[in-house]
Structure 1
Amino acid sequence: MTEPFQARVRPWLMACFGEEISADHIERNHRFLEEALELVQSRQCSRSEAHQLVDYVFDRPIGEPKQEVGGTMVTLAALCLAAGIDMHEAGDVELERIWGKVEAIRAKQAAKPRHSPLPQEAAPISAGTMFLDRTGREICMGDTIEVASTINQHTHGDWVQYDIRKGPGGFLLSYRCSQTGAVLPPGYTAGFMAESLPEDDRRDLKALVFATVPVPVSGWEIVGGDRRGTTWPEERGE
């Protein structure tokens, strides 16, 4: 009879971390939360949605661990059903994969910042703009978005792409390229995001300035970018 999955994970934990780190409930909390966030990110949960749920949960009474484990398993199963994923198969495949990475995982653990929930030194955090693209993802500083071209189509074609930067007055759209490959100096057509919404997404500027929830913009879509980026493309060596 095959051992339960939980029992099969224990030998891997011991091989990677030993008894002390394996039993460290704070470390285990952090690593579980990291993986849970990576899962929902892969299913198009936005940074803004995650932050809202963190505030919601931590404003509520603390739950009972065993019951919360049950709730976690039920909601994970439900998510996997919706995504068409066999959760048991996914677990078995991942456990087999990480048995082949024991040395690499040990090295990563040894290099982990002390007294930090992060698994490694974090890159500079990209600021979120509180605008959501048409797929529901939050647009962040460093992203590149694509916008339907509404003027000078003979020059630009059907679409234009902009880099998201931050200036003294707020987040900016900085021209990057167009369908036709038209080249302009960096910043040539920069404008504030709140003042550059597509016609179908226009809102009162004062309402935008004081918005407390993310604002969806159906005419914008994230197509790439560098979320480390606070620099112009040529300063990044592009």
Structure 2
Amino acid sequence: MKYKRILLKLSGEALMGEQGHGIAPEVVAMIADQVKTIQGLGVEVGLVIGGGNIFRGVAGATKGMDRVTADHMGMLATMINALALQDALEQHGVETRVMSGIDVPKVAESYIRRRAMRHMEKGRVVIFGAGTGNPYFSTDTAAALRANEIDAEVVMKATNVDGIYTADPKKDPTATKYEHISFQEVLEKNLKVMDAAAISLCRDNHLPILVFNMNVPGNLLAAVNGDVVGTLVG
């Protein structure tokens, strides 16, 4: 495997499937199956998942809700998704721990960096819930932060397209795909790969980001194997 330790970033919307909201069990099972495959080959896996399939803090704030309250609701939404993914992984025989950026001791462990790394060294998948534990920060930023903290070798951003394009390929048929692009180009061209804070954090710490389509069976395995999949930022 090219990568020994990865941070996989999933959006909450990725769990919806075709139903438009909530959690689709068949999608969660598909994700768990792919993670099990690479974990079984010795890859240490950390996961950060969003909560947009349940509640988005930014969306709540734009409708008049207090931003801090809305973001706390979004953090709790990510915990719901983390627990769903933990259950699916354990049904696939993968030992998993959920660690939370906010204290929910009856549901998950509080995030402690050294403990998270120890879990991964023991072959457990670690799901980082509740973002950074602070309002005003997205789960993209949480993914970049946790990846740097646990010494991950790459952030793998799972999307529903096969990489980064010059424009939205669903709207612009002339859009072309980047195989490799620099952090600075992503920021200058405002390509919306991840938010600017996450991109800057990865750039400053020389941590590459791989954007790929996880809906294609085998893509996650190909990515950790170093095959040409998606777009590499770095």
TM range (shorter): under 0.3
- Structure number with greater CO (CA < 8 Å, separation at least 6) is 2
Q: TM-score, normalised by structure 2?
A: 0.23
From the two aligned structures, give the one with the greater helix fraction: 1
Q: TM-score, normalised by structure 1?
A: 0.23
